[in-house]
């Protein structure tokens, strides 16, 4: 059963992450929001710190590289509760995203592509890619949220695969050393032929087309690529090259989402926490305080609204912790990961906008970070699967229906 207390072994990591948010991210947050596409050099020190914590063993799983699902427990083994890399990743990302989501996404070697490698790669590949920064390229202009409709092709040619297609909305695509590209081995076979490939960013067949100008998370680069006869060594296909007669290949690739959606939910939680803390402080300075011993309906409208938002935050946090807990204990968590992402993403958007409104001109101006957080919030309800996709996944699991039965 999940324990609601933070495991003692994670507390040093969370203290470090909280300090990073408050002492490093907050002071430079506005700077890199205004200087879009400028690499935050301050993050190099942060990346070295995270790497050091991971190597020392004091913060195993700090960041995306550790967010792999545990093996299914042996039924004959002594029963126990495992709090591992997924939970520590969620908790640490919650703290850093409280400082700045875009900067969290820009920490070297902590990209969503690293989480994909942790989820799907074999042991030899994990060793080979260790210590390298990986972005993840899924979305295409004609596929949107339907990952099963990917049109980028991968054709075997001797000891290589040749990739052709187009990828958009690749987070950290320009800055990363590697790009995990999703492609199909045979369009006629649908989802079962979809695989993921690790492509060197320096590969001449991977051409950067543009960097997007965005509403939020401006400190994070978002790239678009064209793959033109991009030759990738066969050993850089993640996992098994076999095309199965069932959806096993696609299911293996989709396991990435089971690991990364709780991480995105944690980002949303961090931003939500920042909005609530700042708003409560600003309102307290104006004499608006929450009395936790009194019912909400007996307090002022702003205080009652804050109480409601705190409840939504708590619900989203518990869903996210449960999704990570299940992954750490080798239990299928696809539905729970989607529940966490859906709830946390929606809560983040609603809370960020409400906090701007509650703080009036102060919330809308650039003197505080609330208006920036309101812009950053929307992406957390979109990437790694939109709100609608998450609800569809949850509905399929609850009803026991396949993707072809419930579209």
pLDDT digits (tens, 9 = 90+) for 352-382: 999 999 999 999 999 999 999 999 999 999 9
Residue 68 confidence (pLDDT) above 70:
no
Percent residues over pLDDT 70 in the chain: 88
Q: What is the mean pLDDT of the chain?
A: 89
Greatest extent of the chain over all pairs of C-alpha atoms, in Å:
73
The answer to whether 281 is a known catalytic residue is: no
CA distance 13 to 395: 36
Instruction: Give the pLDDT of residue 46.
Output: 80
Among 18-32, 141-155, 177-191, 331-345, name the one with the lowest average pLDDT. 141-155
pLDDT digits (tens, 9 = 90+) for 160-209: 999 999 999 999 999 999 999 999 999 888 888 899 999 999 999 999 99
* 8 A C-beta contact, residue 340 and residue 265: yes
Catalytic residue among 140, 368, 371, 384: 384
| Domains detected in the chain | 8-127 (1.10.540), 133-236 (2.40.110.10), 249-399 (1.20.140.10)
Residue 325 confidence (pLDDT) above 70:
yes
* 8 A C-beta contact, residue 218 and residue 379: no
pTM of the model: 0.91
CA distance 74 to 305: 47
Find, among 380, 359, 381, 385, the residue nearest to 370 by Cα. Answer: 359
């Amino acid at each position: 059963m999940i324990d609601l207390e933070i495991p003692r072994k994670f507390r040093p990591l969370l203290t470090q992450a909280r300090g990073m948010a408050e002492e490093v991210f907050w002071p430079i947050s506005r700077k890199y929001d205004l200087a879009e596409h400028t690499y935050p050099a301050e993050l190099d020190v942060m990346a070295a710190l995270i790497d050091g914590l991971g190597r020392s063993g004091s913060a195993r799983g700090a960041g995306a590289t550790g967010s792999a699902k545990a093996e299914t427990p042996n039924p004959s083994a002594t029963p126990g509760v495992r709090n591992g890399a997924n939970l520590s990743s969620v908790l640490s990302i919650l703290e850093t995203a409280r400082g700045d989501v875009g900067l969290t996404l820009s920490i070297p070697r902590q990209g969503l592509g690293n989480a994909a490698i942790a989820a799907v790669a074999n042991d030899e590949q994990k060793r080979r890619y260790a210590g390298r920064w990986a972005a993840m390229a899924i979305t295409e202009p004609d596929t949107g949220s339907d990952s099963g409709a990917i049109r980028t092709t991968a054709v075997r040619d001797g000891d290589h695969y040749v990739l052709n297609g187009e990828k958009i909305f690749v987070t950290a695509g320009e800055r990363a050393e590697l790009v995990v590209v999703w492609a199909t081995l045979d369009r006629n076979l649908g989802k079962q032929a979809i695989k993921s490939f690790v492509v060197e960013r320096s590969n001449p067949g991977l051409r950067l087309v543009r960097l997007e100008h965005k509403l939020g998370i401006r400190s994070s680069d978002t790239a678009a690529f064209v793959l033109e006869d991009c030759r990738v060594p066969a050993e850089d296909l993640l996992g098994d090259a076999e095309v199965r007669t069932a959806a096993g290949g696609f299911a293996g690739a989709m396991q990435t989402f089971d690991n990364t959606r709780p991480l995105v939910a944690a980002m949303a939680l961090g931003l939500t926490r920042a909005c609530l803390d700042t708003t409560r402080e600003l309102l307290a300075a104006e004499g608006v305080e929450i009395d936790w011993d009194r019912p909400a309906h007996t307090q002022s409208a702003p205080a009652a609204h804050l109480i409601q938002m705190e409840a939504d935050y708590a619900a989203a946090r518990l869903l996210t912790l449960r999704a990570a807990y299940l992954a750490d204990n080798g239990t299928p968590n696809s539905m729970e990961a989607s529940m966490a992402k859906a709830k946390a993403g929606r809560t983040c958007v609603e809370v960020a906008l409400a906090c701007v409104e509650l703080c009036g001109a102060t919330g809308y101006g650039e003197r505080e970070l609330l208006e920036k957080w309101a812009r950053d919030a929307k992406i957390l309800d979109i990437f790694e699967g939109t709100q609608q996709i998450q609800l569809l996944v949850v509905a399929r699991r609850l009803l026991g229906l396949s993707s072809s039965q419930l579209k």
